[in-house]
Amino acid sequence: MSTEVLPPVAPDVLAEAVEQLSARLRKKLDAAVAECAARAEPAADGSVSVPFGEEAVVTLRPGASGAVTGADQAVCTCLLAPRCLHRAAVLGASPIADGETVSGPPSEPLVGAAPVSLSEPLSEAGSVSPPGVSGTKDPGAEPGAVPSPGPGAAHGSDGIGTEDSQGPAPALTAAQVRAAGALWEAAAEALSAGVTAGGTVVQAELLRAAHTARLAGLPRAEAAALRVVRGLRAARERGQGQRLGDLTGAFRELLAGAAVLAAGSSAPGATGTTRRAYEQGGSLRVFGLCREPVLSATGYGGVTTHLLAPGGAFHTVSDVRPGGLSRARGAGSASVALGGAVLDHAGLARGGLRIVGATVSSDGRLGAGRGVSATPVRGVSWEEEPAAALFARPVHEAMAAVFDGDPLESEGAGAPLLGCDVEVIGAAGECLVVRVAGDGPVLRLRPAHPHPELPHAANLGRIARYPGLMLRVLGRPDPERAATLRPLAVGPVPGASDTLRLPEEWLGRADLGYDRLQGSHFPAVAERSVPVGPVGAAADPLADAPLWRVRRLLETGVAGGRRAVAEAGRGADTAALVAPLRRAGLGGAAQLAQALTVEADRRPRDAFGRLKDASADGYARAWLASAVHLAAAERSLVVASWS
């Protein structure tokens, strides 16, 4: 089902339209949604019409923001309107608008927008997992530590996050606690239904709770709920690039965040902000490191240029707007909208700026306020300071600082970039296998963006043809995979003979998302006449550990709902799940997984066959406890893989 023609719709507009339907019409809603998107017809005035035969025509008239934010912007010509199936179906087929789109433009332009991947929307929510334990030792001896939307659930491995400024957390209001409780209930019901039964009606309930959370001042919880709704839609439509693991993580983050807020306690920044706060940074001098294409599942595209200050702080300047792939490809050479600087992003990535009156967000994003002025300065190569310091630090020390939350490393734009010198081993599937110079660990380099129209994968594939090549890599560590780096740029290793030969104007690095490596950029003696076959990568502790059984159980619950988990835990399947975990010393994981299957199958009924407890609360608590435990255990294995 294509929704490219239909405009985004505010969550509360869709929720209200579904709520107005009768029970009989709600049963027909999903079938109507699947049929109406292909009928959409855009008009010259910006409106979109969807005909339903001769009986009705639904017209959407988006506002100045490009989204349908009011009930009066969606009208139907049938006699039952606005309580009709046609109107609700068209709204249900439309994309869900982001919170910032609904409430208006941000206080700063979209300069400094966060880079996003193909599978996630533009948002400000994040999650932080606590360090687990090393090796395969079970980090959770007490399996009941994180199950409920009460005080114990707040501090598991996947809380809402700490994106905003640090300091004492303000006390939650009664309205915020009620909104979080309602969001927990809606999320629990959606989890119990799963993808198979999580149709438009279930999504609408979750959207209503998300809108209530936003009105109560919980924008981060709202953003987490919107990610779940988008994930449910993509899974039901079997959308390209949709991963069940991503939806499982989104459910974990939503439930964990709603749990801590519903308990009335929160960490600093747990509620989130509707506007990114920019503070005066005074005079600032920054140097370009690389540029990265930005592509979002919600139709946004653009570029992010990564910068480094002499003190080692990371900064970003971005240009992210609606436009998708075409804009992501073209924005790499677009002008930089920052203080009148006469530079494009390609020039800034290899140049620098002296900024007066700089405005900087808490995560290092540079704003473009009226008082900001910027002057181009000469760039520095990766061999010069401050960039050289990124490659001088041992990899295991840099990663330890990242996982431990070292303030020096966490300062800047999101996850700090990691630089290292590596030797190419070869290709292993979609990964490029390399070894860190100086007897370091074996790493897997995965494309930062897997879209075939972006050159990340093609560049890594060409590099894989040159085993033994010395390479300087700058990328972002993947916290969900063992010893995995997503490279953004590469360059030659100083003093090495078997390394890249890049043009002088590239200033010693190639942006893998924009520059295409050619044969002339490689030393001729390094290329082999016979293509190199698949290379056996280093052992993957995540793949070798039996934790994949827990992951599969959790994903089964997301896909098939509560009934699927109950079926997976019956008979011999329970022993097949629990026994390998116990043999590996993962007793906590085994106990939590077994408790989840028991709770999923617990449906007590009275003498008349009616459910005594129809609530999904207990099931959601058990699922969340197992999910948080799994995230902590996997995190510990990832940390160990970098040593």
pLDDT of res. 277: 66
pLDDT of res. 609: 73
Q: Would the pTM of this model clear 0.85, i.e. be above it?
A: no
Distances (CA, A) of 55 to 5, 414, 572: 22, 52, 55
pLDDT of res. 433: 92
Q: Could you give the CA distance from residue 584 to residue 576 in angstroms, rounded to a whole number?
A: 13
pLDDT of res. 209: 96
Q: Could you give the CA distance from residue 557 to residue 563 in angstroms, rounded to a whole number?
A: 8
Q: Tell how far CA 169 is from the center of its chain.
A: 25
Task: Report the amino acid identity of residue 192.
Answer: S
Which residues, in sequence order, are bridge partners of residue 302? 294, 320
Find the DSSP H helices in 216-312. Answer: 219-237, 244-262
Q: Which residues of the chain have pLDDT under 50?
A: 1-2, 105-166, 406-414, 526-533
Phi, psi of 551, deg, nearest 5? -60, -40
Q: For residue 552, count other CB atoms closer than 10 A to its CB.
A: 13
pLDDT of res. 569: 82
pLDDT of res. 122: 34
Q: Could you give the CA distance from residue 224 to residue 187 in angstroms, rounded to a whole number?
A: 10
Per the omega criterion (within 30 degrees of 0), is the bond before 604 cis? no
pLDDT of res. 414: 46
Q: Could you give the CA distance from residue 370 to residue 124 in angstroms, rounded to a whole number?
A: 24
> Pick from 415, 488, 484: which is nearest to 455 by CA?
488
Q: Could you give the CA distance from residue 115 to residue 41 in angstroms, rounded to a whole number?
A: 32
Degrees, nearest 5: CA angle 93-97-102: 140
> Pick from 555, 569, 542: which is nearest to 479 by CA?
542
> Pick from 296, 293, 321, 322: which is nearest to 305 by CA?
293
Which residues, in sequence order, are bridge partners of residue 60? 48, 74
Helical (H) or strand (E) element with 458: helix 456-463
Helix axes 547-560 and 572-583, enclosed angle (nearest 10): 140
Helical (H) or strand (E) element with 427: strand 418-428
Measured torsion, CA atoms of residues 165, 168, 173, 177, in degrees rounded to the nearest 10: 80
- Two tokens, residue 620: 């959601």
> Pick from 78, 73, 22: which is nearest to 52 by CA?
78
pLDDT of res. 145: 38
Q: Could you give the CA distance from residue 557 to residue 565 in angstroms, rounded to a whole number?
A: 5
pLDDT of res. 281: 67
Q: Could you give the CA distance from residue 630 to residue 643 in angstroms, rounded to a whole number?
A: 21
> Do the beta carbons of residue 318 and residue 112 sit within 8 Å?
yes
Indicate the burial class of 480 (C-beta count within 10 angstroms; 0-12, 13-18, 19 or more).
Answer: middle
Encode burial over 180-202: b for 16+ CB neighbours within 10 A, e otherwise. Answer: bbbbbbbbbbbbbbbbebbbbbb
Which residues, in sequence order, are bridge partners of residue 365? 316
| HEC assignment per residue over 209-220 | HHHHHHHCCCHH
Q: Could you give the CA distance from residue 376 to residue 398 in angstroms, rounded to a whole number?
A: 30
> Do the beta carbons of residue 440 and residue 395 sit within 8 Å?
yes
Q: Could you give the CA distance from residue 318 to residue 116 in angstroms, rounded to a whole number?
A: 12
Phi, psi of 440, deg, nearest 5? -85, -175
Q: Could you give the CA distance from residue 497 to residue 480 in angstroms, rounded to a whole number?
A: 35
Q: Could you give the CA distance from residue 199 to residue 201 in angstroms, rounded to a whole number?
A: 6
Q: Could you give the CA distance from residue 448 to residue 452 in angstroms, rounded to a whole number?
A: 12
SS3 assignment, position 336: coil
Q: Could you give the CA distance from residue 60 to residue 72 in angstroms, rounded to a whole number?
A: 9
